[in-house]
Amino acid sequence: MSRRALTLLLAGFLVLAFGVAGAFRPVPYVVLSPGPTENTLGEVEKKPVISISGRQTYPTSGALSLVTVAYQGGPAAQIDLLTALRGWIDPDVAVVPQETIFAPDRDPKEVEEENTVEMTNSQDSATAAALNELKIPYSMVVTVVSTEKGKPADGKLLKGDELTTIDGKDAKDVDVVSSTVKAHKPGEEVVFGVLRGGQKIEVPLRPIAGPKGQPQVGVLMQTKYKFPFDVDINVGDVGGPSAGLMFSLGILDKLTPGQLTGGKKIAGTGTIEPTGEVGPIGGIQQKMIGAKKAGATVFLTPADNCGEAVQAAPEGLRLVRADTLHAAVQALDALRTGAGAVPACPS
């Protein structure tokens, strides 16, 4: 073999070797794909998704399914270039920069914990929204989930503490507590009124400046509701707040006579406020694909997601705009009875 041919062969081998090696190098992207779809009127692992005790319930039919997005990648388990390339050519998945899912200054474990808390909050908000729709009264308290090591609340606020006041004002929800802390300058004292073990105490803290200069004390809180009967929601290993609307509809269907779906397979998504407002979510394309694969014919869509949903909706999946829980119930009534207008996502 000539020296020229040998040089070309060696160069080709090196290019191939570097190409193969590069294909398996980690890249800072996350692959989003359709995740599990669960019927809120059905079961997960032989347990009802929604269980209600202490209140009369009624038979249901059809499906009111929540949809999810599965992700592959992240700071703790980055995908390789080959996986990202496969995702870019697959129309059912999306490849997004890692920082859109995991903020660069956030610990992945902290993000996972917050997703769990968001799911719990979503379930409670969904129950509250359903009870508000039915005009059933309830009460609520703000509790401490955890504190960050080294931050002002560390060792002073404890898991399970009920926050009753903040600077003498009623701590009626997490937003009130957060906004009151943020109204202070770093170093200024803020006083938490706490119910601990049946005893009322005051815990003064001095916020420090966070990464963006905002004052913080390093406490993760959640609003806990005291409902007049038990509502238990079981969805397995699913996090985040985007199933709120479908939880509310499932609870409503079980608590009211008749069948909300009319036997149809309905899927949908959207965060829910206790007042019933439906909020936008991420991953709408993957969620619609998951809904279609699960046999849904109707997809309840938050108003703010309508634009992108119309562009990517699978054939045969009817998009119904859901601004509020009440509007979603009215839309399902119209679909079932054929009477009244069904709000659609604008094209």
Contact status, residue 239 vs residue 322, Cβ threshold 8 Å: no
Distance CA 154, CA 144 (A): 11
Among candidate residues 242, 248, 254, 292, the one labeled active-site is 242
What is the chain's alpha carbon radius of gyration, rounded to the nearest angstrom? 25
Q: Which two tokens stand for residue 341?
A: 């207008």
Distance CA 281, CA 10 (A): 52
Contact status, residue 143 vs residue 193, Cβ threshold 8 Å: no
Helices (H) and strands (E) in the chain — how many of each?
8, 22
Distance CA 337, CA 218 (A): 51
- Is 200 part of the annotated catalytic residue set? no
> Cα(first)–Cα(last) distance of the chain, in Å?
66
Residue 305: left if φ>0, alpha if ψ -120 to 50, beta else—which one? alpha
Among candidate residues 125, 146, 248, 287, the one labeled active-site is 287
Distance CA 96, CA 101 (A): 8
Element (H, E) at 205: strand 199-205
Distance CA 186, CA 68 (A): 39
- Is 139 part of the annotated catalytic residue set? no
Distance CA 193, CA 286 (A): 44
Residues β-bridged to residue 165: 170, 193
**Is residue 46 classed exposed, middle or buried when 0-12, 13-18 and 19+ CB atoms within 10 A define those classes?**
exposed
Which residues are designated catalytic?
A: 242, 287
